[in-house]
Structure 1
Amino acid sequence: MAEATKRYAVVTWANKGIGFEIVRQLASNGIVVMLTARDEKRGLEALQKLQHLRLSDQVVFHQLDVSDPASITSFADFIKTQFGKLDILVNNAGIGGVKLDADVEAGAGYDRSKLIQNSELAEECLQTNYYGARRMAETLISVLQLSSSPRIVNISSSLGKLESIQNKWAGGILRDAENLTEEKVDEVLKVFLKDFKEGSLTAKGWPTFLSAYSVSKAAMNAYTRILAKKYPSFCINCVCPGSVKTDINGNTGILSTEEGASSPVMLALMRNGSPSGLFFVQKELSSF
Structure 2
Amino acid sequence: MCEAFIPLLELSNSPRIVNVSSMMGKLQNVSNEWAKEMLNDAENLTEEKIDQVLNEYLKDFKEGSLKSKGWPSFIGSYTMSKVAMNAHTRIQSKKYHSFRINAVCPGFVRTDIVYNIGMLSPEEGAESPVRLALLPNDGPSGLFFNCKEETPF
- TM-score bin, normalised by smaller chain: over 0.9
Are 1:225 and 2:82 matched, yes or no? no
Higher relative contact order (CA 8 A, sep 6+): 2
Residue 112 of structure 2 aligns with an amino acid whose one-letter code is D
How big is the shift at 1:250? 1.3
> How many Å separate the matches in 2 of 1:239 and 1:175?
18
Aligned residue in 2 for 1:158: 23
Match of 1:145 in 2: 10
Report the secondary structure of 1:239's partner residue.
Answer: strand
Question: Hey, what does 2:46 align to over in structure 1?
Answer: 181
Provide the rounded CA distance (Å) in 1 between the counterparts of 2:139 and 2:71.
34
Give secondary structure in 2 for the equivalent of 1:143.
Answer: helix
2:136 matched residue in structure 1 = 271
Aligned to 1:287: 152
Residues 1:190 and 2:55 are matched in the alignment:
yes
CA distance in 1 between partners of 2:87 and 2:114 (Å): 24
* Separation of aligned partners in 1, 2:118 and 2:63: 32
Letter in 2 for 1:155: V
Provide the secondary structure at the position in 2 that maps to 1:262. Answer: helix
Letter in 1 for 2:72: P
Provide structure 1 residue ranges, at least 5 long, that are not aligned to the other structure: 1-135
Encode CA deviations 1:48-105: one digit per residue, 9 max, x unaligned. Answer: xxxxxxxxxxxxxxxxxxxxxxxxxxxxxxxxxxxxxxxxxxxxxxxxxxxxxxxxxx
Q: CA offset at residue 156 of structure 1?
A: 0.3
Pick the aligned partner of 2:67 from 202, 219, 239.
Answer: 202
> How far does residue 227 in structure 1 lie from its aligned partner after superposition?
0.2
Secondary structure of 1:190's aligned partner: helix
TM-score using structure 2 length: 0.98
Does structure 1 residue 261 correspond to structure 2 residue 126? yes
- Does residue 250 (structure 1) correspond to residue 106 (structure 2)? The answer is no
Q: Which aligned pairs between 1:39-78 and structure 2 lie closer than 5 A? A: none
Structure number with greater Rg is: 1
Alpha-carbon separation, structure 1, partners of 2:46 and 2:112: 32
Q: In the alignment, what sits opposite 2:106?
A: 241
- After superposition, what is the alpha-carbon deviation per residue over 1:87-141, rounded to whole angstroms, capped at 9, x for unaligned? xxxxxxxxxxxxxxxxxxxxxxxxxxxxxxxxxxxxxxxxxxxxxxxxx111110
Cα separation, 2, equivalents of 1:147 and 1:233: 10
Question: Structure 1 residue 167: deviation in Å?
Answer: 0.4
Q: CA deviation at 1:201?
A: 1.1
CA distance in 2, matches of 1:284, 1:205: 29
Identity %: 63
| DSSP 3-state at the match of 1:261 | helix
SS for the counterpart of 2:39 is helix
Moved over 3 A (4+): none
Aligned-partner Cα distance in 1 for 2:109–2:41: 30
In 1, the alpha carbon distance for the partners of 2:133 and 2:101 equals: 9
Contiguous gaps of at least 5 residues in structure 2: none
Aligned to 1:214, which of 79, 82, 89? Answer: 79
